[in-house]
Amino acid sequence: MRQQIAAANWKMNLTLTQGEQLLDAILKNEYSLNEHRKVVLAIPFPYLLPAVNKVKNTQGVFVAAQNCYNKKSGAFTGETSVEMLQSIGVEYVVLGHSERREYFNESNSFLAEKVNIVLENNLIPIFCCGESLTIREEGTQNEFVANQLKESLFHLSADQIKKVVIAYEPIWAIGTGKTASSQQAQDIHLHIRNTFAAAYGNEVAQDITILYGGSVKGNNAAEIFAMPDVDGGLVGGASLNADEFAIIINALK
């Protein structure tokens, strides 16, 4: 089901106390959230359980893990299974963030396995895609992103694909303060939706939630989110400030 989502990605930041203070500050604001308008907080593993307990009674706010492993359980020291995440009440998992692709060599096929295990456990993948600056300068970003989607997602059924949230995050806009223009975001979001339409039909494609990520801030969120194929954002730096993230949440359509 297509939704509007303001997702925070805390990445590897904050101590427990800082995280609790940030979460309390986010939750004390009023937002008009409902089944179609949500906040998802992707926070570090050690704080997932306390965060789940804190957001439990707040409508429209959910907790995401920033990663998981592609195996059910077993001798994989240091890894976290989807079953573990599910058992503590986590509902979303960010997969294939460009930082994981780059620093941990996560490939499209490896991510396809993670998508499968997340869906098998009834959690929702937030699947990240997006091109580097070199690819953008070559002008081949559409083909590059379509290939990421094809290799990791196109084995899914129509019912499964509708559950996946897509986050388009151009690498050149992440943490750089250099955001894509709202028109650049719209153009590639439409391309992503058309890529799904070609594989699954237009009705399915219209149902897919596609978030934009890359230097989303309080002062540009409304313009970007207003674009017809942008269904919210995945926010890094600006999500670490409760007041700024509140502006971003309120910028959702």
Which residues bind to ligand 13P, rule: CB under 6 A? 9, 97, 169, 174-175, 213-216, 234-238
Active-site entry in 106, 169, 189, 244: 169
Number of Cβ within a 10 Å radius of residue 108 = 16
Which of 186/215 has CB closer to ligand 13P?
215
Which of 94/146 has CB closer to ligand 13P?
94
169 is catalytic: yes
Q: How far is the CB of 15 from ligand 13P (least distance, A)?
A: 19
189 is catalytic: no
H or E stretch including 8? Answer: strand 4-9
How far apart (Å, rounded) are the C-alpha atoms in residues 84 and 171? 30
Residues ≥6 apart with Cβ < 8 Å to 56? 89
Contact by Cβ (8 Å): 208, 196: yes
Nearest position to ligand 13P, beta carbon: 236
How far apart (Å, rounded) are the C-alpha atoms in residues 121 and 136? 35
Q: How far is the CB of 153 from ligand 13P (least distance, A)?
A: 18
How far apart (Å, rounded) are the C-alpha atoms in residues 204 and 190? 14
Q: How far is the CB of 97 from ligand 13P (least distance, A)?
A: 6
Q: How far is the CB of 152 from ligand 13P (least distance, A)?
A: 17
Active-site entry in 97, 99, 106, 244: 97
Q: Which two tokens stand for residue 7?
A: 């997702």
Distances (CA, A) of 72 to 99, 155, 236: 23, 20, 29
Tell me the angle at which helices 16-28 and 48-55 cross, rounded to the nearest 10 degrees.
Answer: 20
Which of 232/236 has CB closer to ligand 13P?
236
Q: How far is the CB of 61 from ligand 13P (least distance, A)?
A: 18
Q: What is the DSSP letter of 236?
A: S
Residue with tokens 């990791």: 152
Residues identified as active-site: 97, 169
